[in-house]
Amino acid sequence: MFDAPEINYLAILPLIIVFGGGLIGCLLEGFLARGQRVRVQLWLTVATLVAALVVLVWLARDNQGITAAGTVTVDGPTLMIQGLVLSLSVIGVLVMSERLGGTTPDAFTQAGVSVPGSHEEAEAVRLGGTTTEIYPLTLLSVGGMMLFPAANDLLLMFIALEILSLPLYVLSGLARRRRLLSQEASLKYFLLGAFSSAFFLFGAVLLYGYAGSMRLDAIADAIGTETGMDGLLVPGILLLASGLLFKVGAVPFHSWTPDVYQGAPTPVTGFMAACTKVAAFGAMLRLFYVGLEAARLDWQPIVAAIAAVTMVVGAVLSIVQTDVKRILAYSSIAHAGFVLTGLVAMQEVGASSTMFYLAAYGFMTIPAFALVALVRSAGSEATHINQWSGLGRRSPWMAAAFSFLLLAFAGIPLTSGFTGKFAVFAAAVANDYAWLAVIGVLASAVTAYIYFKLIVTLYFGDTRSDTAVVAPSALTTFAVVTGVLVTLGLGIAPAPVLELAANAAQFLR
């Protein structure tokens, strides 16, 4: 006899909306005429995301609990992370849709399946091919990102990991220009991602062997009672952690980050850098805080060491980069280390500071990459640092916005970056990880060098005639202005969001 599990549909309604929107998007691909696709898909996607966000705030918040046979938890951290993913996705999608006066999104190829430079590609361009599959792909990925931090079961967590990853592998390979680089990035990301998923799955199996269940609460109970099975528990934890640390780009699982960030279409890079990190850290919080808290002595020192190494390696390698996208990639590695510093602090303050940092980081990353996509030389993106020389004089607003975001990356006060760093370092110091905070500030000082080198280039360098900033449409402008305002707001008056994060830091077990 099989009893259907009770499902609180209201609690998972945002998920259903996002997945439903993704499926409708797939259908529309088949039925809509080429000319209408871009517009319809864009508004369907944005409407889906906004609807999910509204439902999340109005309904799901009042329906917290563990549902779907104990596999899905909808609690404070879940809602916070889901809300964050949804809000970031909205501006991420707007940036992806930037057409720059053309008929299709500018950053994406018109024929992803064709061989670069082939006859088929030229034919697709001539016929006006659109790459509107990016919209359903994004929605499905967002669905996975929302399920990831909610999963209370290792198997579901694995499924969510795959749902969020597979569309990203495809999206990474769709760049319109420098397509071979993009396809290389895609393949690299896919192969290494597949490895990390396998690690994760193997870890899940080992923990199943240890606890007799994939559910996090059952594993937490087992850690308190089972003894003499550390041979399964510890390798299981490490393998699971490897899978998750790969997704956030922590050292030593970081080597894909610069290549993929550089090769992927720039708006996708921004989306990936912000949303994937948010979702993966959300899952990591649940795994470590709910499932493995009792075994913290086994993993905490290792994660602390990884946080330290991640900050140092990300910071040191960033200063020798000469490509803006790679600089931002290495800086994202360093930022992953800062977030981990909050995460290892444990307690509620660890969860709340981590979530605050993710919010701050997400809202500075997407606009930063959106601005990178606007700097052009001879029709394609100019990402070498020398090509940016003297842009401040000819494009004052773009340079001012980018410099402001760089100040936030560097953690200068009155930006969200400073508030976030203060939050995670304070959490670390309060929980006996003062040494991690010391490494953190030293790494911040190192990364500041490269950010200020960029500002120097923008403002104090000689003007080059072959590089120009193209005028963005309202979509990108909206995304950038939103990001800058949030970055400024979280720097000047962070109290409401800190309050929200603190209230949402309580996990249901």
User: Where along the sequence are the contacts to other proteins (CB under 8 A)?
Assistant: 393, 396, 407, 410, 412-414, 418-419, 421-423, 425-426, 429-430, 434, 437-438, 441-442, 444-445, 448-449, 452-453, 455-456, 459-461, 494-495, 498-499, 502
Q: Which amino acid is at 329?
A: A
Report CA 52 to chain centroid distance, whole Å: 18
Burial class from Cβ neighbours inside 10 Å (0-12, 13-18, 19+) for residue 478 reads middle
User: C-beta of 77: minimal distance to other proteins in Å?
Assistant: 17
| Contact indicator for 192, 184 with CB cutoff of 8 Å | no
Measured from the CB atom, the residue of 98 and 348 that comes closer to other proteins is 348
Measured from the CB atom, the residue of 66 and 391 that comes closer to other proteins is 391
User: C-beta of 452: minimal distance to other proteins in Å?
Assistant: 6
User: C-beta of 440: minimal distance to other proteins in Å?
Assistant: 8
Cα–Cα distance between 458 and 392 in angstroms, integer? 5
Measured from the CB atom, the residue of 124 and 368 that comes closer to other proteins is 368
User: C-beta of 149: minimal distance to other proteins in Å?
Assistant: 22
Cα–Cα distance between 479 and 196 in angstroms, integer? 32
Measured from the CB atom, the residue of 301 and 413 that comes closer to other proteins is 413
User: C-beta of 498: minimal distance to other proteins in Å?
Assistant: 4
User: C-beta of 451: minimal distance to other proteins in Å?
Assistant: 10
| Contact indicator for 249, 189 with CB cutoff of 8 Å | no
User: C-beta of 59: minimal distance to other proteins in Å?
Assistant: 28
- Residue 369's contacts (CB-CB under 8 Å, 6 or more residues apart) are 95, 266, 267, 269, 270, 273, 325, 328
Helix (H), strand (E) at residue 450: helix 434-460
User: C-beta of 335: minimal distance to other proteins in Å?
Assistant: 16
Measured from the CB atom, the residue of 174 and 340 that comes closer to other proteins is 340
Residue 467 β-bridge partners: 377
Please name the residue that has the structure tokens 């200068």.
412
User: C-beta of 434: minimal distance to other proteins in Å?
Assistant: 7
Measured from the CB atom, the residue of 127 and 456 that comes closer to other proteins is 456
| Contact indicator for 113, 186 with CB cutoff of 8 Å | no
Angle in degrees, CA 502, 505, 506, rounded to 5: 125
Phi, psi of 377 (to 5 degrees): -140, 125
Helices 416-430 and 324-344 meet at what angle, rounded to 10? Answer: 30
Measured from the CB atom, the residue of 199 and 356 that comes closer to other proteins is 356
| Contact indicator for 10, 63 with CB cutoff of 8 Å | yes
User: C-beta of 461: minimal distance to other proteins in Å?
Assistant: 8
Structure tokens at 225: 């009672």
Sign of CA dihedral 275, 280, 281, 285: positive
| Contact indicator for 350, 343 with CB cutoff of 8 Å | yes
Measured from the CB atom, the residue of 150 and 448 that comes closer to other proteins is 448
Measured from the CB atom, the residue of 211 and 345 that comes closer to other proteins is 345
| Contact indicator for 168, 141 with CB cutoff of 8 Å | yes
Measured from the CB atom, the residue of 414 and 471 that comes closer to other proteins is 414
